[in-house]
């Protein structure tokens, strides 16, 4: 059985959504971050940078969200094209794109000190990171608008869950209206948010992690803040 090491409302949610959607049994093990769980040698053996998530699998521990999604979808033959199937290259391309160009700059917004040496970051770095996020989302929205099987607004996909969970995090970075995500700028992703949050997998994950039912379209309906 898979073992998912998680904290609520983090990148581990992406993996949990995909495991639920695939119908795979898994055990979810909470990480006690306040007690230094990310630095514990046992956890570092699973994820050497002490980041969330880590997934224990029959072939050993896997870290990096994109790698986990590629492995799970390939192993279980769903939510993304299998190796050799049409669209496989496109899926991998946009999966890596999301990791480098959306996930990474969001981490820069959460942890500017890791990139700038300053606890609050400098204004230029923060503005550049926000612009990178917006550029990536616009390109992902245009891709989803073409409705490829592996990233269509009206069907579940590993990449869809990845992008929509990352969009949840935007609620932390809108100083004037922290609960507003401007979905009007991303109409295909907006449709995807409504489709995917209604699925049993998303409902199960929202309940498990104490999140609101409109997990993607109205991320501030729940009381929590993303825990990146
Ligand atoms: N590159 C990693 C980043 C994962 C990530 O964003 N993890 C966050 C939680 S959402 C984390 O571990 N934050 C704590 C830290 O970096 O110290 C991945 O894709 O899995």
Please state at what angle helix 158-168 crosses helix 65-76, rounded to 10 degrees. Answer: 150
| pLDDT above 80: residue 225 | no
Residue 83 lies in a domain: no
Domain of residue 152, residue span: 88-198
Residues 198/113, Cβ–Cβ less than 8 Å: no
Q: What is the CATH number of the domain that holds 100?
A: 1.20.1050.10
Residues 201/20, Cβ–Cβ less than 8 Å: yes
Residue 179 lies in a domain: yes
Residue 103 lies in a domain: yes
Give the C-alpha distances (Å, rounded to integers) separating 6 from 15, 33, 79, 127, 227: 9, 10, 21, 30, 10
In the chain, % of residues over pLDDT 70: 94
Residue 139 lies in a domain: yes
103 lines ligand 1 (CB under 6 A): yes
Distance 105 CA to ligand 1 centre (A): 12
65 lines ligand 1 (CB under 6 A): yes
Task: For residue range 56-111, list pLDDT tens digits in order.
Answer: 999 999 999 999 999 999 999 999 999 999 999 999 999 999 999 999 999 999 99
CA distance 193 to 203: 13
- The total of structural domains in the chain comes to 1
Read off the pLDDT band of 174 (50, 70, 90): low
Residue 40 lies in a domain: no
Task: For residue range 44-71, list pLDDT tens digits in order.
Answer: 999 999 999 999 999 999 999 999 999 9
């Amino acid at each position: 059985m898979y073992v998912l090491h998680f904290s609520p409302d983090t990148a581990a949610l992406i993996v949990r959504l995909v495991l639920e959607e695939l119908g795979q049994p898994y055990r979810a093990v909470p990480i006690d971050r306040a007690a230094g769980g990310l630095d514990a040698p046992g956890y570092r053996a699973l994820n050497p940078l002490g980041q969330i998530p880590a997934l224990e699998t029959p072939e050993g521990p896997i870290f990096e969200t994109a790698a986990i999604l590629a492995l799970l979808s390939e192993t279980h033959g769903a939510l993304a094209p299998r190796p050799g199937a049409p669209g496989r290259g496109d899926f991998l391309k946009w999966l890596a794109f999301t990791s480098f160009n959306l996930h990474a700059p969001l981490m820069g917004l959460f942890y500017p000190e890791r990139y700038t040496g300053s606890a609050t970051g400098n204004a230029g770095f923060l503005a550049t990171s926000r612009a990178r996020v917006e550029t990536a989302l616009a390109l992902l929205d245009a891709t989803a608008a073409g409705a490829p099987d592996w990233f269509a607004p009206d069907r579940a996909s590993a990449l869809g869950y990845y992008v929509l969970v990352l969009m949840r995090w935007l609620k932390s970075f809108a100083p004037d209206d922290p609960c507003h995500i401007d979905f009007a700028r991303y109409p295909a992703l907006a449709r995807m948010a409504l489709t995917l949050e209604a699925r049993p997998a998303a409902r199960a994950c929202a309940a498990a992690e104490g999140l609101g039912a409109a997990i993607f379209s109205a991320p501030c309906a729940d009381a929590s803040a993303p825990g990146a």
